[in-house]
Amino acid sequence: MLGNLAAGGAGGSGGNGGDGIGGGILLGLLVGSSAPMLSVTGGTIVGNLAVGGMGGAGANGGNGLGGGLYAAAGTNACLDHAEVVGNIAAGGFAGSGGANGKGIGGGLYIVFGATVGSKHAQILGNLATTSDNDVFGTLAPNC
């Protein structure tokens, strides 16, 4: 999975920027229930971007969540000998008078209620503009 972009839209006048979620992979539904399963064996998730949209005048920038992978509640994923490297989660710029969005989980953003395990995976060198460069959430030590 290489070089993908999830970008939130720009907010109109007074509107917040949209959220960019799951730059490389968005696993599951953001609203409602879902229970998909993902297995990445020997694969690479690299160079993907989740970028929040710019806020309109007086409004906030959108959030960038999970540059490489965003795992929604109810989902299951296994990273088996996989690499998650060089992904970016960046918050969008604020409009005049607003606040910049947050960039969280440059490599992985694991929502409470999702189960993501790692078996000899390399998760490193990712960037988040606010917090949790490599992993946000709970990453299990095995699958």
* Full pLDDT tens readout for the chain, 143 residues: 999 999 999 999 999 999 999 999 999 998 888 889 999 999 999 999 999 999 999 999 999 999 999 999 999 999 999 999 999 999 999 999 999 999 999 999 999 999 999 999 999 999 999 999 999 999 999 99
What is the pLDDT, as a whole number, of residue 112?
A: 96
| 122: in domain | yes
DSSP assignment string, 7-59: EPPPP-TTPPPPPEE-SSEEES-SSS----EEEEES-EEES-EEEPPPP-TT-
Query: What's the total number of domains in the chain?
Result: 1
Cα–Cα distance, 68 to 134 (Å, whole number): 9
What is the pLDDT, as a whole number, of residue 32?
A: 82
Q: What is the pTM of this model?
A: 0.96
| 6: in domain | no
| 8: in domain | no
| 100: in domain | yes
What is the pLDDT, as a whole number, of residue 34?
A: 81
What is the pLDDT, as a whole number, of residue 35?
A: 85
| 4: in domain | no
Give residue 105's domain range: 19-29+36-130
| 11: in domain | no
| 94: in domain | yes
| 142: in domain | no
Triad 13, 26, 17: Cα angle to 5° = 10
